A and B are shown apart, each in its own frame.
Chain A
């Protein structure tokens, strides 16, 4: 029986939030003994034993300590309590191309970065062509890295990191960057590592990836391990934690008399056919059903389309909606031309009073649609309209 590759026992990490910390000798002298700080436990009592060859998905809400855990396991941060034992060479893909120097060429950076990751010059020399080939940068390898596009930069970073023949791969959401074909290539590479018996621990927000790739799922919340085991259960556990559980597309039931977001539908405005996959420049319609007390005050719906890392891409807000006698209202947002964005987008939607002072309900529909366009550059100009419409007949609202 091989020993665990990663053994974390009782790991806790406490960050100090300094209020009046002396950051210079001068302040140190002036602020003598006045510095105050407050502890914040980013991780607590984390016990993890990861055997060789396992692929573990690490998921959790924002700020649950996922990245901190990866940084502690990779030896960048020292744990405040507990111990971490690691066997083998770690490639931590916390930030791709972290060690790159813009003034140097791609070639020089490959050698430098590989040396930092623990490779000898001879080994780097052997892998060099593979690295450049994987990154698809043959024509640019002798250009200065500062002239690279962000995609090229990230590709080179990933290529170096995976070619140092790691025993353990720690991946922090880096797969969210790069275009789709490169993402697929990265996933293929991960599969190759799995076959080779490499241990993989990765953080992701793409919950559908977890059951597909991982043999085990770990859910972190507020720095504690909430679930450790079956990956499908892990993803479900997180969904329920985030309130984006089942019934993402079905119609909800009215609970109480507070206005609520019941359902969301995405479709092609021309044909009315449901759709989840849009190309840049195509029209897109999004309908939300809202339940609200019949003949109650008007409500408005505000929604944001959010991209990777929850960055809001654009926001749309409806005019006041007047709930019908059945206590529902449906609003349709129509985007005339989808901007040239790329990736998986979520909808964050809230029901508020028209003045925007009270938010009655907020929901997030993650992985709502996939957009395939050229990568957006600059400011997005989105032309959209909103109107209150009759709810579709074929699917009557349950009351």
Chain B
């Protein structure tokens, strides 16, 4: 307990010190101090989460020592889990950022970047331990704004300002919904503690309204389709370690909020709550990966994969909520456990992949995959770490992505226990969509890794690429290790997640019977799997095969030659398959969704049309959501804004009149209200 208090103190002090140091000290020293503050805070947060979960005490810590009235903090299992997520990615990002932001020296404001990193991490940490709506909302807004400023770092690059505007627009629409939700749940007083919200008895209509508002607000932050539009714009233009933090942690706050509100504050809801979450998750997962396949901007591709993985997390949580409604508590715990497991897994591998993409960007200077290639020889360590991340996100055994997807599958397979066939039949459809998603994700990461790192460099910049500084490598290595570790110790992680769930009073998973040991058996014995033994077996076989070849007397000669090119001598990068070509079959298969436009213009030689001088091919994908959903909304907004502008005449007298008038009206309303 004392240790937890001390660690909380470190978290609450280290970040502000980091902010001050970043603002006060210039140059490399300031960069280092900001990183040190962030690292200390993140590690303390990680330790705090681990101590609280390890102690297994629910509510472990209630902080009352804060001088400011209105702020309330409390750590339970869910907070502790998310503190760990923030800590793991935050620590890696802090170290990586130290090396990465060196390139910004003299170009962009390092002081602002360092300070905002600390503000972001502090607001994230406070948010997950907030115990009333006011604290939560202030931290939420601080998180949104600090992320906004960090997205704006490279403000002179094309597209950055526009992306930041989209981000802040969507996130504030969500914020408004969250304020409304908390006002509904707390009866108008935002300083009411979460404990009294839990015990408040709300009418079903109010509960439903609060749920829908919350789902909207949290989905806007999480990047769930159709509120995902900001994500593929904002994540690529931010500095890469900020992208890692945003994709790995910031969007997870949508997951945290959804869980906090549904399974903790509101308690059990009708089945359609879960159904809605499951449906949104399925659509996000599939559309996220389908749009990712068509991307050739490495960071945009990763951003779309965040949409996909948030979808997978939502599938798990949605299934859990449905099961809870039908009283299947073991399956409900399985679904939510799968969602939480995927949350920390995604934080690790997506953080890793964004850091890897940042290293590539650092070395090659472009995000366009068509200008890369051959980096595995020039940046071998980055390539290896990126490969680990790519395997993990493609759900390849025995890494962590596979374990959590396996759990999601098992939860969905348990759907046959639902007594109502019309509800149960949703589950196989979700299974099929999830399977398609993971297959497409594997295809996408063959593309992402293959085109970026393998074969011949497609540009002189790629040919001149070099390995990144040590600090960046260390962060990637740490996250890669986390991916492996989370994959190899599923029973350990599931046990910890069981503690998370049992600390929530209104979620009744105490009777959950995961059989934990080397094999992981899910409740009801639907399936059984042991990733550590699987990994051991694979390693053993991987060693035995070369041994067998050697004992069997296989030839050991090896000659280096040219790639076969139908007899043509001399291979150039222009003969390679491109990312566009790689994704072409799937673009044709899903043409109905993509609605690709094609422009083909061929320049013939005047003498004969058998001599082609140049070919220009241009193809674009119809951005459906932007045009159909958001364009009318933005047009309407513009009309309203033009109309409102008339109020603003520029005359001080007029403004004074407005104020007086508004004050009078408010006073009258207040009087009448009483």
Question: Real complex partners, A and B?
Answer: no
Give residues in B with beta carbon < 8 Å to A.
none
Give residues in A with beta carbon < 8 Å to B.
none
